[in-house]
Structure 1
Amino acid sequence: MELTPDHAVRFATATLAHLGREYPYKMDLVLTGPEDAKPPREHHPIFHGSFDWHSCVHGWWQLLRLARRFPDLPIAAEIRARADAMLVPEKVMGERAFLDRPYSAAFERPYGWAWLLALHAETEAHDAPWAAALEPLAAAFAARFRAFLPKLTYPLRVGTHFNIAFALVLARHWAETRDPALVTLIDTNARDWFAQDRDCQAWEPGGDEFLSSALTEAHLMATVLADDFPGWFDAFLPRVAHQQPATLFTPANVSDRSDGKIAHLDGLNLSRAWSWRAIASALGPAHAVTPVAEAAAQRHLAAALPHVTGDYMGEHWLASFALLALDGLAD
């Protein structure tokens, strides 16, 4: 399965509908006094829709990428007009000011940080002023990564927003052409945390996970190790050519898509598809695992794509992960 104009229209139509939908909204906010109890748009002039801050950020990433991939679709003009109105310096400064609040050091760490960098990278691919407007926010989150990673003694392996490998895949993609010091820091940490991992048992998924702790780790190491990746991967998942551990090859069952946490499992299927495809690409066509990985990606895509829209608890974010699974991150 590959990204098509039909996918683009379906995803973008749903995302445009929720990008400015202010309620319901889950704030990431420590109240320091009664004056902090105000509507989300007053805290977040841009990212006040899509149920939460990070979903709004990657909703924008998704829309701009679709507009670039399919510039002649009528919906692309609407996307660009919305971006012209929202991705402007004065609104970015409002978002940037939120980071200076007390108790904000861990705001959206690390998932939202990484998605903001991905959004900034996407805006730079457009002939528009959006990237320049977002630059102060991107610089602030890159600085937060540089401050945080040296003190993160142990990796965060969980399959939710705190997963460090997923965040660093996105952050490293941004940093490759913009922040060599951050690339070095990411690569050093990844090697320290993961280089000696062997025979991963892949005890997953958890009941509310949208990331595979095993596959996101491998995905990151594919970018960090380059030509050394196949040797590391063969030791990390030594039986994967025989589809073991079986948990990595079985799409998750989603019992209730109206439950926001259980609906995460649709995202797990999509993020696994993205990681399996990235792993296959890094291993190359001659590796025994490559056709197995590609087939696993297709199974996970088939399980999840019909459910990207339909219930707001998934609809406010799943299209971004569907776009990753179908089109990847690279330009």
Structure 2
Amino acid sequence: MTMLTPGLAARFAELTLGHVGRPWPFKLDQVLTGPDDVVAPAVLHPAFHGSFDWHSCVHGWWQLMRIARLFPDLPQAVAIRERADATLTAEKLGGERAYLDRPGTNGFERPYGWGWALALHHELERHDELRWADAMRPLAEAFAARLMEYLPKLTYPVRTGTHGSTAFALILALEWADARDPALAALIRARAVDWFGGDRGAQAWEPGGDDFLSATLVEAVLMARVLGDGFGAWFAAFLPDVGKGEPATLFLPATVSDRSDGKIAHLDGLNLSRAWCWFVLADAAGMPGLRDVAMRHLDAALGHVAGDYMGEHWLATFALLALGAGTAALPPQG
């Protein structure tokens, strides 16, 4: 049994190939410092000017490159590699790196886009062809340096279900740092314990009206990665009644009333990202029954990955996260 099938991977790839280079509509994250800053997104962001916004384009590429690696014989994988050769070049990614030297970019895509940029570089380094990873490295290292500067002065974590989430960005960044930057990995672990190590009895006042992450569950996934063997005791104190299905809000998929509204459509992403979290936590906490909760959330959202561009430009990434986690957690088949 597998959850992430070649058919689903091909469907996701087709959707995302259709928007990673789509220039309009596009939502800029930019501080204007003068009239010369008013230029087309493709000028500002030579590689990542599609998918409605910069971070969605970055994680769209993460999704595409992961599909190409996992399913190299798909026809779409050939198209992905050809598109990568045209887009993930030293010149274009150098332009992305140069953007960070502009005035007013200190908070650009912090921290969500930072985490996804590191995740993309980590994925690229898992490919046999390293030209894309080599081209991406300066940009990834620039965001890692920004994290090293930012995390010590972040007195309080951002506990939210949207792009500001500290925990979600650190989940992505930690995987990158563990492979190549011991100092950053140690800092992430230390700050995670500082911020979240004493948390007990989470009330889970969620979802908010435009959440696409569970603030409660992404914190738990981060601590699973940080604490290792100590996670079980922490999780038992953090969500002491999880075995009883409480807090109930975490077990009930969110209702999406209008998928043409970009913020309300976030709730499809919440269901997908919760599915991802529940699959991870079922394994980390040794509670296989949580896989059923993950499946309820996955079933609520998987049919809505396509349909309206407000969701279509990003939901497949979170579907891939959930399906990948669910597949990884499956027991061996006899």
TM-score normalised per structure 1: 0.97
Gaps of 5+ in 1: 285-289
**What whole-Å deviation, never above 9, does each CA across 1:250-308 have from its counterpart, x for those lacking one?**
00000000000000000000000111111111123xxxxx1331111000000010000
Partners of 1:257 and 1:263 within 8 A in 2: yes
SS at match of 2:206: coil
The letter of the residue matching 2:119 is A
Aligned 1:129-144 pairs, distance under 5 A:
129-144=131-146
2:301 equivalent in structure 1: 304
SS at match of 2:289: helix
1:117 equivalent in structure 2: 118
**What whole-Å deviation, never above 9, does each CA across 1:44-103 have from its counterpart, x for those lacking one?**
000000000000000000000001111001110000000011111111110001101111
Which residue of the other structure, out of 315, 322, 325, is the alignment partner of 1:325? 322
User: Equivalents in 2 of 1:189, 1:329: separation in Å?
Assistant: 28
Partners of 2:4 and 2:327 within 8 A in 1: no
User: Equivalents in 1 of 2:34, 2:90: separation in Å?
Assistant: 28
Task: Note if 1:31 corresponds to 2:32.
Answer: yes
2:220 equivalent in structure 1: 218
1:208 equivalent in structure 2: 210
Task: Note if 1:76 corresponds to 2:73.
Answer: no
User: Equivalents in 2 of 1:145, 1:201: separation in Å?
Assistant: 29
1:104 equivalent in structure 2: 105
TM-score normalised per structure 2: 0.96
Which residue of the other structure, out of 260, 265, 269, is the alignment partner of 1:267? 269
1:287 equivalent in structure 2: none
Identity of aligned residues (%): 65
Which residue of the other structure, out of 282, 302, 307, is the alignment partner of 1:280? 282
The letter of the residue matching 1:14 is L
User: Equivalents in 1 of 2:289, 2:102: separation in Å?
Assistant: 48
Which residue of the other structure, out of 151, 161, 164, is the alignment partner of 2:163? 161
Which residue of the other structure, out of 190, 211, 218, is the alignment partner of 2:192? 190
The letter of the residue matching 1:149 is L
**What whole-Å deviation, never above 9, does each CA across 1:97-120 have from its counterpart, x for those lacking one?**
110111100000000000000000
Task: Note if 1:315 corresponds to 2:317.
Answer: no
State the 1:2 CA deviation.
1.0
The letter of the residue matching 1:144 is R
SS at match of 1:154: coil
Quote the RMSD (CA, aligned, Å). 1.2
State the 1:177 CA deviation.
1.2
1:51 equivalent in structure 2: 52
Which residue of the other structure, out of 289, 314, 325, is the alignment partner of 1:292? 289
Which residue of the other structure, out of 245, 248, 251, is the alignment partner of 2:250? 248
User: Equivalents in 1 of 2:192, 2:137: separation in Å?
Assistant: 26
User: Equivalents in 2 of 1:69, 1:301: separation in Å?
Assistant: 21
User: Equivalents in 1 of 2:313, 2:193: separation in Å?
Assistant: 34
**What whole-Å deviation, never above 9, does each CA across 1:6-50 have from its counterpart, x for those lacking one?**
111110001000111100000011111111111100000000000
User: Equivalents in 2 of 1:107, 1:266: separation in Å?
Assistant: 25
